[in-house]
A = this chain, B = another copy of it.
Amino acid sequence: MNQKLTEEKQRLILETATEEFGEKGLFRSSIRSIAKKSGVSVGVIYKYYADKEALFFACLDHSMESLSEVLSAAADEASSLEDMMRGLIHACIVYAREHEAYFRMYHSITSAESGADAGEIARRIESETAAVYTGVVKKAASKGLVDKNYDPAMIAFFFDNLLMMLHFSLSCDYYKNRMSIYLGDGVDEGLLEKQLLSFIMHGIAKRS
């Protein structure tokens, strides 16, 4: 029971911190404020996390894990390249409504502010995804669904780039505003989804 409370509290801390980090970034966020918002003492945070950065990375891991699950589910269900892409784009749009902060953490870590080893982090976060995407593209290529002039890895890279920008455009203030400049306020997400998928599929497709 006591243990249970602790686990819940841990999750609460993580969620609160993710929110704050996503909103203000690593430096403008403060441990005190996170503690207060979480209803715990500062000390207890230091019980679980060695320092502010450790908490930041724990939030990142937490976010990425959750994100990964959702994206994996979307990818796993898919029987074709197009299905996978549609699934990922859709999942991204749906997920963004609930968990802006997770996407924001993702953006946060791509910036230099934390001073962490970018290579290490990138490897931890991107390797799996990269392998999956590249694999699926390769498989599709072997079926002749991808123009043979393309390097499958590059196609996977372009696809992931577009997906990444979709993430940011749905969650981070700057990117949200930027999307509005292009598409106006109150973007039609259904249309966005459809046109993005179409753009990608045609970009990839074997030339007739």
Contacts and interface: CB of A to CB of B under 8 A. Distances in A.
A158 B199 contact: yes
Number of copies: 4
B25 A28 contact: no
Nearest to A22: B112
Interface string A138-158: 000000000101110111111
Contacts of A154: 182-183, 191-192, 195-196
A172 B112 contact: yes
A119 interface: yes
B162 A161 contact: yes
Interface stretch (A36-44, A70-78, A126-134): A126-134
Interface of A: 22-28, 104, 107-113, 115, 118-119, 121-123, 126-127, 130, 134, 147, 149-151, 153-158, 160-162, 164-166, 168-169, 172-179, 181-184, 191-192, 195-196, 198-200, 202-205, 207-208
